[in-house]
Amino acid sequence: MNLGELSGVKLLGVLLLTAVVGTGALYYTVFKSQRDQNAAAQIKLQLKLRENAELEAYRPKLADMERQLASLKQQLEIERRIVPDEKEVDNFMRMVSGEARKSGVEIRRYTSRPYVAREFYTEVPFEVELDGPYYSMLGFFDRLGKVERIVNVSNLLVASTRKPTEAKAKHTYQYAPGESVVATCLTTTYFSHDLDPGTPASKPGPPVKK
C-alpha cells in the first residue's frame, strides 16, 4: 500500500494504528518485563526492611550479649583448668609431687589404677605412697585440696614409720629423723573426654627412690 495514495484522514488512522500496535508490543516486551522486575525488587526490599526492623530490636541487647559471651568464654577456660579435656597424666603427677615438696613430704610411689568412664567425665586414679613429718603430711593434704585442678583423696591410711605396713606401704625406706608417719591413699583426677572404661592409665611403675 502506498501511503501517498491515502487521504489525510486514512493516513492519520494508519499512523495511529501503527503507534498503538508498536506501543502494545513495546509494553509487553520491555515495559511489562521491567515492571515485573521492579515489583519483585520491591517485594525483596520489603522483606529486607522487615528483617532489619526485627533485628533492630536486638541492637540494645548486643553489648549485653557480647559481655555474656566473654563471661562464658572465661568460665570455659576456668573449667578446662579444673577438669582438662586431655589426660595430662604427667602434669597431674608433677603437680602432686610439687605440692609434696612444698610441704616437706616425700612421695615414694605412684601406681595407676583403671580409668572409670562416666557420662561427662573420666576418673583417673593413682595409688600414692608417701611419708614425712605428721604436720607436714597435714599441710600436704590441705594444699592438695586447694589446687585449681580437682583432686579427690580417698582410702587414706596412716601409720608410724616404725610400722609402715599398717598403712599398707609396699616398701620400707630409710626415713629421715624428722619423719614420723607413712601414708597411702588414692588420688583421683578427672578429664572431660571419653575413654574406654577399664583402660589402665599405665603399667604400675617402680617405687620412686629418694
pLDDT in tens, 10-30: 655 656 666 655 566 655 665
Please state the three-class secondary structure of the chain as a single string. CCHHHCCHHHHHHHHHHHHHHHHHHHHHHHHHHHHHHHHHHHHHHHHHHHHHHHHHCCHHHHHHHHHHHHHHHHHHHHHHHHCCCCCCHHHHHHHHHHHHHHHCCEEEEEEECECEECCCCEEEEEEEEEEECHHHHHHHHHHHCCCCCCEEEEEEEEEECCCHHHHCCCCCCCCCCCCCEEEEEEEEEEECCCCCCCCECCCCCCCCCC
Please list the residues that pair with 182 across neighbouring strands.
Answer: 131, 159
Position 141 scores a pLDDT of 93
Q: How far apart are CA 51 and CA 32, in angstroms?
A: 29
Q: How far apart are CA 62 and CA 150, in angstroms?
A: 35
Over the stretch 107-155, which tens digit does the pLDDT of each residue have? 999 998 998 888 888 888 999 999 999 999 999 999 998 888 888 999 9
Using pLDDT thresholds of 50, 70 and 90, give the confidence band for residue 53.
confident
Instruction: Tally Cβ neighbours within 10 Å of residue 157.
Output: 13
Q: How far apart are CA 103 and CA 97, in angstroms?
A: 10
pTM (2 d.p.): 0.55
